[in-house]
Amino acid sequence: MTTTVRASARGAAPPRAGALRLTLALVGAALLLLCAAAASVMFGSMRTSPGEVLSVLSGDAEPYLTTVVESRYPRTLLGVLAGVCLAVSGTLMQGVTRNPLADPGLLGVNTGAAAGVVTASAFLGASGSASAMWWALPGALLAGVLVHVIGFSGASSSAVRLVLAGAVLTAVLTAYIQAVTLSRPKIFDNYRYWVVGALGGRDFDVLWSVLPFAVAGLLVALLIAPALNALALGDESATSLGANPAVTRALGWGAATVLAAAATAAAGPIAFVGLAVPHVVRGLIGTDHRGQIALSVLVGPVLLLTADVIGRVLLRPQELMVGVVTAFVGAPALLFTLRRMKHSL
């Protein structure tokens, strides 16, 4: 009997109905991702018809049109990568903390990345998107480590303490960023474009630079998914089922931080993707973290690419940065989540 229960908690095959629902959700999300990627290549601040895009793909288009369409390739791939990282990061953070409001923006990771960019620009002479990326990454990682140490240390460790640690760190770093940028207007000019969150203006070099971090974080997420299922039952139950809560939290938090840091370093702080996607996924397939992570890999890019396309066509020929669009989309999602939680608060 014990062996059966332990196998189930560690990740035994789900019931047939659950497996069918997961399969249908994965297929549907994959189709939506293909459509979103196609729309990202087809639509932009310059109007291009499907025929013109096909002519570029076949190599028969004029050079100017080819340049315009090909400039959308790295933007689309970066949107896929950032969407995957943010969605899986949010899923891990909510699983580790057992808090449905946990996401990289609320727990200090995004602010840590911004503080890294400001510090490098103000005191180390860094400039340009490439330099911003390399300084955002350690800033986000350091913030994630500090929040984890504060939130999960001592006998009073709890999800509430973790969220409070993230809020305190965010407030302190935000004050530091404001002090530096207000006292150095040139630094603010270099910083303001990155801080909104955008997929445009990046090339394939940015994508290849953060790809190893994204792959490492995703692999760890997949490996600890069964342990997260056990952790959801509580620390005592997880221990009795063979999982180590402390190790699971450390690995989960570390992977979530690396994923969020990679996305933030490459595209800037993009809000609400890590918050909204896990709720959408749970509503579709339930609470199994194996399925949640797999589906988040597809749903995250769909949301981010769709928001980016909306931002490109809404004010054409101007562009609305994707971080602004996701904020408008994510705010109702946050309010909806709070409304659902009101009876349990």
DSSP symbol at 155:
T
User: Cα separation of 255 and 86, whole Å?
Assistant: 11
What pLDDT, on the 0 to 100 scale, is given for residue 127?
Answer: 64
What pLDDT, on the 0 to 100 scale, is given for residue 334?
Answer: 63
pTM for the model: 0.86
Most confident of 63-77, 126-140, 210-224, 246-260: 210-224
What pLDDT, on the 0 to 100 scale, is given for residue 81?
Answer: 95
Mean pLDDT of 261-272: 86
Among 309, 341, 270, 323, residue whose Cα is nearest residue 90: 270
Do residues 268 and 196 make contact, with C-beta atoms less than 8 angstroms apart? Answer: yes
122 sits in which H/E element = helix 109-123
Which tens digits make up the pLDDT trace of 292-306? Answer: 999 999 999 999 999
CA 125 centroid distance within chain: 28
Neighbours of 297 (CB within 10 A): 25
User: Cα separation of 78 and 336, whole Å?
Assistant: 29
| Residue 40 in tokens | 């990202």
User: Cα separation of 330 and 336, whole Å?
Assistant: 10
User: Cα separation of 197 and 229, whole Å?
Assistant: 33
Residue 172 has pLDDT above 70, yes or no: yes
Q: Which residue has the higher pLDDT, 127 or 74?
A: 74
* Domain limits, the chain: 18-58+77-341
Mean pLDDT of 4-26: 64
Q: Which CATH superfamily is domain 18-58+77-341 in?
A: ABC transporter involved in vitamin B12 uptake, BtuC (1.10.3470.10)
What pLDDT, on the 0 to 100 scale, is given for residue 126?
Answer: 67
CA 274 centroid distance within chain: 5
